Amino acid sequence: MKRHIPNAVTCLNLFSGCLGIVFAFEGKLELASYSILVAAVFDFLDGMLARLLNAYSDIGKDLDSLADVVSFGVLPSVIIYQLFVAASSTSEWLHYSAFLIAIFSALRLAKFNNDLRQTENFIGLPTPANAMLIASLPFIAASGNLVSGYLQNPIFLTVFSLGMGLLLISEIHLMSLKFSGINLTRNLYRYILVFSSLVLLLIFKFAAVPLIMVAYFIISFIQFRTTK
């Protein structure tokens, strides 16, 4: 029975993504964003439980990817789509560029499952990290700050969707967020990212997520250059 436990948690990830899609189409974008957060927690737990229970399986690996396509690909696309709808646009065709996120997320996950170079670190932006960035957008849009104006611009949303999609399948080396025990030396850059993220969240709240993403790229670049 224990080998089915991680798969059950993965199904909760998928269920969270499905609920989030419903919330997004109902215009409840903040609830949809929280659904991404819940799905990310389940995504973390299923991997942790698989390691603790030694319950790895090919079915579990495929199921995890399928759940991630929904929770971290389709759901973020629907959130972007709803931001398009809320923005004044002369062409409804631009709205559909939001689903580039779903397409590139599926490509990213398929690539990850078959790329032996990604056992220690990531090549390309992980789908959960991209989804968390998109999850912050409804809160930023509602804040009324300077950045929120860009989220009402259909051209910006189109460029954003394409740009994030390309980052998902890029050859950029990014550090894995899985800690190797608690050893400080082996996890130094991960600890730096976690600490800086907490500080940014305390100061800027949801608006900190784009800044955390930038920090993730910079710290990953430094780690890759120093270890290389």
Q: Are residues 28 and 133 in the same domain?
A: yes
- Output the pLDDT for position 81: 95
DSSP-based three-state secondary structure for 186: coil
- Output the pLDDT for position 162: 96
Q: Are residues 43 and 99 in the same domain?
A: yes
Q: Are residues 129 and 164 in the same domain?
A: yes
DSSP-based three-state secondary structure for 192: helix
**Where does the pLDDT of residue 226 fall: very low under 50, low under 70, confident under 90, or very high at 90 and above?**
confident
Mean pLDDT value across the chain: 88
Q: State the Cα–Cα distance between residues 36 and 164, nearest whole angstrom.
A: 17
- Output the pLDDT for position 40: 94
- Output the pLDDT for position 176: 82
Q: Are residues 134 and 202 in the same domain?
A: no
Nearest to 123 by CA among 167, 163, 156, 154: 167
In the chain, the number of structural domains is 2
Q: Are residues 55 and 160 in the same domain?
A: yes
Asked if residues 127 and 73 have their Cβ atoms less than 8 Å apart, the reply is yes
Q: Are residues 89 and 143 in the same domain?
A: yes
- CB-based contacts of 65, cutoff 8 Å, min separation 6: 109, 110, 112, 113
CATH number of the structural domain spanning residue 118: 1.20.120.1760
- Sign of the four-CA dihedral 155, 157, 160, 162: negative
pLDDT in tens, 63-94: 999 999 999 999 999 999 999 998 866 677 88
Among the candidates 171, 203, 220, a domain finishes at 171
Q: Are residues 147 and 180 in the same domain?
A: no
pLDDT in tens, 111-170: 888 877 776 678 899 999 999 999 999 999 888 777 778 888 899 999 999 999 999 999
Q: Which domain holds residue 217?
A: 173-228
